[in-house]
Amino acid sequence: MEILGVDIGGSGIKGALVNVENGTLVAERHRIPTPQPATPEEVVEVVVQINRHFKWNGPIGCTFPAVIKHGVAYSAANVDKAWIGTNGEELLAKKTGFPALLINDADAAGIAEMEFGAGNGQQGLVIMLTFGTGIGSAVFYNGQLVPNTEFGHMEIRGKDAEDRAAGRVRKEKNLNWEKWAERVNEFLKRMEIVFSPDLFILGGGVSKKHDKYSYLLHTHADIKPAEMRNDAGIIGAAMAARSLL
């Protein structure tokens, strides 16, 4: 079964038809730069274009980097504030003409990793973290998602954790891997005190470079790099949209 998955990010909006039974992309993905400012109307217009590109007639699953409850965005840390209070699902359905599901980006990536990637078959408590512009989080207990956890906004040393340890911060502050890993360790330790997870899955842009920092991270829980890289959001969003059928 195929469903259109779309990953809405700060710099690009990427879509692909996904085979939701085996978690693979059916055709090459299509990327359009995120319009600036990334208002709901402008962003949804891009999703309409992606939908047209694939000549798709069916449900659409879309990620968004914010708290999403019943289709409505409740936060907008690194995106246009006009999203707060917007029912993205309604807007998407109205403009595309098809049922749409909106889901937090890290939750979507986690869904894909738990079924087809690093979390496959893992029981107990799994915390997926994505390190990019912000830090996204997704929690699973025996494979069941606990949505909208937003650990990137946990306070560490008076700041949002993501403003100390996101992939973006490593680049902006020119931190070497050791310095950045110290910050990540502090964050992971905090997670362990509260949740005692069995496994951390580390995703986002830095997962490509796992070898450069994984040996510097020290946790009781196992740590694995995400396996699905850039496609996890698209695939997880499409998988979540099965609920629309």
**Residue position matching structure tokens 């869904």:** 111
Going residue by residue from 162 to 191, which x/- string records binding to ligand BGC, judged by CB under 6 A? x-----------------------------
The DSSP 8-state label assigned to residue 168 in this structure reads H
Going residue by residue from 200 to 239, which x/- string records binding to ligand BGC, judged by CB under 6 A? ----------------------------------------
The DSSP element (H or E) to which 13 belongs, if any, is strand 12-19
What span, in angstroms and rounded, lies between the C-alpha atoms of 25 and 19? 6
Choose which of 17, 66, 92, 108 interacts with ligand BGC (CB under 6 A).
Answer: 66
**Residue 104 binds ligand BGC, judged by CB under 6 A:** yes
**Residue 75 binds ligand BGC, judged by CB under 6 A:** yes
Q: How far is the CB of 75 from ligand BGC (least distance, A)?
A: 5
- C-alpha distances (whole Å) from 157 to each of 77, 101, 193 are 19, 36, 16
Choose which of 39, 78, 87, 185 interacts with ligand BGC (CB under 6 A).
Answer: 78
Candidate ranges 22-30, 59-67, 115-123, 226-234; the one touching ligand BGC (CB under 6 A): 59-67
Task: Choose among 139, 152, 157: nearest CA to 197.
Answer: 139
The phi, psi pair for 122, rounded to 5°, reads: -80, 125
Structure tokens that stand for 100 in this block: 């749409």
Q: Report the SS3 class of residue 212.
A: helix
Candidate ranges 49-57, 87-95, 131-139, 213-221; the one touching ligand BGC (CB under 6 A): 131-139
Q: How far is the CB of 102 from ligand BGC (least distance, A)?
A: 12
- Contact assessment for residue 126 and residue 135, using Cβ atoms and an 8 Å cutoff: no
Q: Which is nearer to ligand BGC, 19 or 78 (CB)?
A: 78
Candidate ranges 36-44, 102-110, 167-175, 213-221; the one touching ligand BGC (CB under 6 A): 102-110
- Contact assessment for residue 103 and residue 109, using Cβ atoms and an 8 Å cutoff: no
The DSSP 8-state label assigned to residue 78 in this structure reads S
The residues of the shown chain that bind ligand BGC, judged by CB under 6 A, are: 65-67, 75, 77-78, 104-106, 130, 132, 134, 136, 150, 152, 162
